[in-house]
Chain A
Amino acid sequence: MLTIKNLYVSVEGMEILKGINLEIKPGEVHAIMGPNGSGKSTLANVLVGKKEYEVISGEITYFGDNLLKMSPENRARKGIFLSFQYPVEIQGVSMVNFLKTSVNEHRKYRGEKELTAGEFLKLMREKMDLVDMHTKLANRSVNEGFSGGEKKKNEIFQMALLEPKLAILDETDSGLDIDALKAVAHGVNALKTPENATIVVTHYQRLLDYIVPDYVHVLYHGKIVKSAGKELALELEEKGYDWIKKENGN
């Protein structure tokens, strides 16, 4: 589904990713772990096409197509979804208007009929239940006045509406209490199918108790320095990142 080959990325002239290789197949859950500043968020953002992240060399193919040539909106319509670490507040844009536009843009792209207001509201209520999101939030502006937990739930709620093929969760666990964490994980797990894949970007092992990865990769200084099964996450939890740092000469 997604193949990253020898990817180098810089931000404001500083090289952040220094040769990433990664292969993701349908049905897989990959965890990207690593200490702060190792390039985890950069990887997440470059996949959705944030323009500040400049690809110096390397390639990313998504279902055989050159991902780097696609606009952010087309990446989304082709099934790539990022749950943001810091979702933005959009004053004056109602949740309903935003989500309906988003869902219908996806449907239009796939050549499906756009949903009517009634059909959309029905779908929305159904998906809100999935992440245990309060219906009162649907009447507000996007993320405006939402708590940290509500913002993260809102990301997973959008994921539930858009049903992506490749979901990237960027530090989705940060700032969540245990109940919100469980609700978010429940949503992610409920959306899991053999056809879609998930990349979980996280600093801590905690979220991986609930969203169990098939592979764990450790990112350090812009490179994947270690890849293994889910047991690697537990090892990191126990020993911290110091041994990784030592092994890689810093």
Chain B
Amino acid sequence: MSALIEKTDLSLRYTIHYNKVKEQFLRESPLTLNAPRDKAFCDFVSQGIPTTENENYKYTNLQPQFSHEFKFAHQPEKVEQYLNEKFNCDITQLDTQIVFTINGWYCQRNKKYELFPEGIILCSLKEAVMNNPDLIEKYYTKLAKTEEDPLVALNTAFAQDGYFLYIPKNTDVEKPIQIINLLKSDEDTYTTHRNLVVIEEGANIKMVLCHNTLNNNKYMSNSVTEIYVGTNANLDYYTIQNQHNDSSLLNFVFIQQEKNSKVTAHTSSLHGGLIRNNLKIILNGENSEINVFGMAVMDSSQHIDNFAQITHTKPNCQSNQLYKNVLDNFATGVFSGRIHVMRDAQKTNAFQRNNNIMLTDNATMKTKPQLIIDADDVKCSHGATVGQIDEEVLFYLRTRGIEESKARLMMMNAFVHEVIQEIKIEVLREQINELVEKRLNGEYPNKK
């Protein structure tokens, strides 16, 4: 009963706020963004802010986050001088085309990329709806269903801006596109990020996403990104999460893949108080392939929750999932991986693995690898391990003159190396390697 009251109380604040800002949304936002709002908000209210009684949020308690009185970022934050290309998420040598979002808003001072091959669109979502209403209409909210998750519903109800990326048919974008999501505010702030990516048939693109905070206020970000990957298209999608430890990131990424497409989604979580990565993938065409990699190094009382769902709807598709966590101090980790092989998806290959190292007795890990198989001719495997540093290996290294602390570090590095090596952009791989090494070594403290 008390849980019910709490739920009502917490969403009430958002209801009052929604009614207050609805007028502003209707006035300022284009129709495509406004049309789904009311239904989305109803879906949010009927589901409520998720409690741990919700199976999908069983081990990630968001009640404290939603109890906090955040300001809402309904206006773009003013951009100052320092937001130039020098801010690079500690990835200094990566040659990318950089754009910024601030508190979810596409930064209007972003450079216009003249060098892009013709037809590429990289702009604010709001602007995209004005210029290409049909294009956005076709894709917006089609993957991120508001009735399936209250937080997606809340995002859709509050959505005002984000980035929009469009890669036309058979276009190779050689330089990776780097999107740096910054949080900056004078007050504790709740931000809504709404992004859309459309990759047409035969196109190739690499994206690098960074999540960072610019100052010490508390933040809660609700980010929803819908990505469509056309026939024969390739996408590499790298995410680096580096917000300060007083921030919470609710990061939803939806990907739908068509025939012969190939996607690699790779996430490195280093800093951030609470991170929930919701990755939902639909393999919607034959011979499509998805590789999902996640790596987290967590300490103090950080919380990482990777929730990955892959649905095989067509035959001859392949999916791989590998998530590795190193948890120190009081850090908590959650992994829920769900592979659903539907009846028509014969000859599916689906593999899933989650390995965790706990460095203290106080760290906890909940892992739930799941397989749901409705087809009969498939190859699937899943597994999870939770363990400590291997003492035999540690001893071996020490007998070779290597200091215990250094030996531990080598072993932790080796543990996450399996995930890092899957980064196909060499410079990025080396830099992440370096950051992780520093992070494990305590030389890369939280910026707060």
- A-side residues, CB < 8 A to B, are 48-51, 71-73, 75-77, 81-82, 84, 87-88, 90-93, 97-98, 101-102, 105-106, 109, 141, 158, 162
Contacts and interface: CB of A to CB of B under 8 A. Distances in A.
A110 to B, nearest CB: 10
A92 B401 contact: no
Contact of B402 (A87, A88, A102): A102
B395 interface: yes
B402 A50 contact: no
B404 A73 contact: yes
A107 to B, nearest CB: 9
Interface stretch (B40-48, B111-119, B414-422): B414-422
B396 interface: yes
A90 B391 CA distance: 12
Contact of A77 (B401, B406, B411): B401
B395 A50 contact: yes
Contact of B410 (A72, A75, A81, A97): A97
Nearest to A99: B400
A60 to B, nearest CB: 16
Contacts of B410: 93, 97-98, 101
Given A48-B399, A97-B410, A90 B393 contact: yes
A162 B398 CA distance: 13
The 4 A-B pairs at the shortest CB distance, nearest first, are namely A92-B414, A76-B401, A72-B398, A92-B417
Given A71-B404, A73-B404, A93-B411, A88 B393 contact: yes
B413 interface: yes
B414 A91 contact: yes
Given A76-B400, A97-B410, 8 more contacts: A50-B395, A72-B399, A73-B399, A73-B404, A76-B399, A93-B413, A102-B400, A141-B414
29 contacts: A49-B399, A50-B395, A51-B395, A71-B398, A72-B395, A73-B398, A73-B404, A73-B407, A76-B400, A77-B401, A87-B396, A88-B390, A88-B393, A90-B393, A90-B396, A90-B414, A91-B418, A92-B415, A92-B417, A93-B413, A98-B400, A101-B410, A102-B397, A102-B402, A105-B401, A105-B402, A105-B403, A141-B414, A158-B400
A201 to B, nearest CB: 15
A111 B293 CA distance: 43
Interface of B: 390, 392-393, 395-404, 406-407, 410-411, 413-415, 417-418
A104 to B, nearest CB: 9
Contacts of B395: 50-51, 72
Nearest to A105: B401
A82 B393 contact: no
Contacts of A90: 393, 396-397, 411, 414
Contacts of B392: 88
Nearest to A106: B401
A77 B400 CA distance: 8
A112 to B, nearest CB: 13
Contacts of A109: 401
Nearest to A81: B399
B417 to A, nearest CB: 4
Contacts of B396: 84, 87-88, 90
A87 B392 CA distance: 9
Contacts of A141: 414
A92 B402 contact: no
A77 B406 CA distance: 15
A73 B402 contact: yes
Nearest to A51: B395
B234 to A, nearest CB: 27
Contacts of A98: 397, 400, 410
A35 B282 CA distance: 62
A148 B396 CA distance: 17
Given A71-B404, A88-B392, A88-B393, A82 B414 contact: no
